[in-house]
Amino acid sequence: MWREFLGNSTSGGTGGKNTRSRAPAPQPPALAPYSKRTPAAPTSHPHPLMDKPHHSPTSWPDARAIAARAAVKEAAHAAPVMRPLSEALGQVLAAPLAALTDLPPFDTSAMDGWALAGPGPWRLPTDDQDQDHGILAGHGAAAALPDGHAVRIATGARVPPGATAVLRSEYGTDAGDGWLHASAAHPVVLGQDIRTRGQECRSGDQLLPAGTLVTPAVLGLAAAAGYDELPTVRRPRVEVLVLGDELLTEGLPQDGRIRDALGPMVGPWLRALGAEVTGTRRLTDEADAVCAAVAESSADVVVTTGGTAAGPVDHVHPTLRRLGAELLVDGVAVRPGHPMLLARLAPENPEDSKKSENPEKSETPGPQTRPARHLVGLPGNPLAAVSGLLTLAEPLLRTLTGRPAPAPGPAPLAEAVQGHPRDTRLVPVTFRQDAAVPLRFTGPAMLRGIAVADGLAVIPPGGAKRGTEVEVLDLPWSAIATEQLSYADQSRHADQSRHADQSRHADQSRHADQSRHANQTRHADQSRPTGRAPRPPRASHRKDNAARHGDGEDISPEEGPA
């Protein structure tokens, strides 16, 4: 549940490292900042990269690499946000987590029993209070324990000086004659059941690297290591602009208009990628309205839907020209979604900079202090927009949120997938026995496939045969389900193993922790296929979605904008 709140990722995000060569991003000339927050007049000298109506699209791996590098400078200069532990859940560590103290900070008892000094039998205290309670957790240092003596001690209590071992309550016998005897079946071993100081870590040891997602377990570790607050990465602020006169926000399609599927989908998807979505605005297909909305946005990233092609009401490219933006990616050789784009917007003007010399210490500064920096233009077709989210928005936001790039996630195809002659294809798949099963309804405007998918398979130009290992871009929620299921399976098997061990080996309970850990590790290794995390089982009705006779998408060279 917490990872769904986090928007994780855990997975650390979707996508994966690509091993193919990546050409460096084009380096356009320096840009002049726009001087007003309102749309500027068209210039007679548009940006050179934007004055070429015919150009080769960027390859899919190169587009992802460019997006990942686009905000490196902004991420490096972003100041961390200090958050109290109660507010840090779901954030990302902006700096490594180093221990502020030894763990444990002093020698402690791992069990309820007696602290012992030397070999037994051991003399017990004659004081009634010492006999009843002994040394309790939370108390200061106790008096040194003489050789040959024993004293009652509670779990977590500080071991007194001179103690050489702790004898568990069930392994000792107090006959009432003032002497403590250990069970013959459980001879005392030097240091047993004592958690020595620094056993887990020493002060200054690095516990977690920067970029770690703050989970409840991380909060617990941070508290134990002495932290009251954590340095976290400021979440990038994203505004979504949905373009299109034909879109309805409620009711059934009518009079040539259709329901807006992107407004309800894109914002939550961006939150799952670690963004702080400031809002979703719907705009008419008017050039001035689009330009003004982009120019006046206070977000770090503006995400537009629709209007990225070259039609009569496609205003994204003209808007970028008017604002003097730098196009980093203008079209990607991928289907669906090839009209997607990524741009770096002009920096704020000097007057705005003067106004923001003393900004408030807030993660969500006002519009005067944080103008838009990047724009991701998504195609208007729903599945094509998803392709744009995973191709451009995910790597960009991964950099801005400080998360590491996820490891590649290959999987064998359960069936052959037809490819585009020149472009990469992203095909929704689900997993059956850890094989990627291609789904139907994969046209650019279709959502039935992605709605039940675990990820998008990356199909190279020309297609892929059955059994071919292909990269799969995990969806944030499918990664969450996988991790939760994996943890649940391991816990269930651990409980079963622990119950069996206790029934068969009641006299060996001091080794229960080691056995339980070994059982969990062994189960995890057996259930995890090579190179891939365990996949959650899918409902039987989803298996019927596997494509067997094509996928319903035109992938001919003459395919129109997607």
Please say if the pLDDT value at position 551 is more than 50. no
Task: Supply the pLDDT for residue 536.
Answer: 43
User: Which has the minimum average pLDDT: 94-108, 115-129, 381-395?
Assistant: 115-129
Please say if the pLDDT value at position 160 is more than 80. yes
More confident residue, 362 or 310: 310
Whole-number Å distance between alpha carbons of 50 and 320: 8
Mean pLDDT of 141-162: 90
Specify the pTM. Answer: 0.66
Whole-number Å distance between alpha carbons of 179 and 116: 12
DSSP helix, strand, coil percent of the chain (3-state; round to 5): 30, 20, 50
Task: Supply the pLDDT for residue 300.
Answer: 93
Whole-number Å distance between alpha carbons of 280 and 303: 9
For residue range 394-429, what is the model confidence (pLDDT) as tens digits?
A: 999 999 998 888 777 899 999 999 999 999 999 999
For residue range 34-55, what is the model confidence (pLDDT) as tens digits?
A: 333 344 444 434 444 444 445 6
Helix (H) or strand (E) holding 515: helix 512-527
Q: Are 555 and 462 in contact (CB under 8 A)?
A: no
Task: Supply the pLDDT for residue 445.
Answer: 75
Cis peptide before 121 (omega within 30 of 0): yes
Please say if the pLDDT value at position 19 is more than 70. no
What b/e readout covers 225-247, taking b as 16+ CB neighbours within 10 angstroms? bebeebbbbbbbbbbbbbbbeeb
Task: Supply the pLDDT for residue 9.
Answer: 36
For residue range 491-510, what is the model confidence (pLDDT) as tens digits?
A: 444 444 444 444 444 444 44
User: Which has the minimum average pLDDT: 377-386, 504-513, 536-545?
Assistant: 536-545
Task: Supply the pLDDT for residue 65.
Answer: 95
Whole-number Å distance between alpha carbons of 386 and 336: 9
Whole-number Å distance between alpha carbons of 146 and 342: 74
Whole-number Å distance between alpha carbons of 389 and 240: 12
Task: Supply the pLDDT for residue 76.
Answer: 84
The beta strand positions in 367-464, using DSSP E, are 374-378, 410-412, 424-432, 435-438, 455-459
Least Cα distance to 281 among 243, 335, 226, 331 occurs for: 243
Cis peptide before 404 (omega within 30 of 0): no
What b/e readout covers 16-47, taking b as 16+ CB neighbours within 10 angstroms? bebeeebeebeeeeeeeebeebebeeeeeebb
Task: Using a pLDDT cut of 70, give the percent of the chain over it.
Answer: 68
Whole-number Å distance between alpha carbons of 126 and 176: 11
Task: Supply the pLDDT for residue 175.
Answer: 78
Average pLDDT of the chain to the nearest whole number: 75
Task: Supply the pLDDT for residue 132.
Answer: 57
Task: Supply the pLDDT for residue 447.
Answer: 80
Cα dihedral sign, 282-284-289-294: positive
Task: Supply the pLDDT for residue 82.
Answer: 96
Mean pLDDT of 189-201: 92
Rounded to a whole number, what is the distance in angstroms from the first to the last CA of the chain?
Answer: 35
More confident residue, 77 or 95: 95
For residue range 208-258, what is the model confidence (pLDDT) as tens digits?
A: 999 899 999 999 999 999 999 999 999 999 999 988 766 656 668 777 777
Helix (H) or strand (E) holding 488: helix 476-504
More confident residue, 451 or 435: 435
For residue range 161-170, what is the model confidence (pLDDT) as tens digits?
A: 999 999 999 9
Task: Supply the pLDDT for residue 380.
Answer: 85
Instruction: Identify the band that residue 448 occupies on the pLDDT scale cut at 50, 70 and 90.
Output: confident
Please say if the pLDDT value at position 277 is more than 50. yes
DSSP string, 329-365: EE-EEEES-TT-EEEEPPPPPHHHHHHTSS--S-SS-
For residue range 314-343, what is the model confidence (pLDDT) as tens digits?
A: 889 999 999 999 999 999 999 999 999 999
Task: Supply the pLDDT for residue 86.
Answer: 94
Q: Are 173 and 183 in contact (CB under 8 A)?
A: yes
**Which spans in 38-91 are helix H?**
60-70, 72-77
Task: Supply the pLDDT for residue 249.
Answer: 65
Q: Are strands 469-474 and 455-459 parallel, antiparallel or unpaired?
A: antiparallel
Which amino acid, 423?
Answer: D
State the virtual CA torsion across 10, 13, 17, 18 in degrees, nearest 10.
140
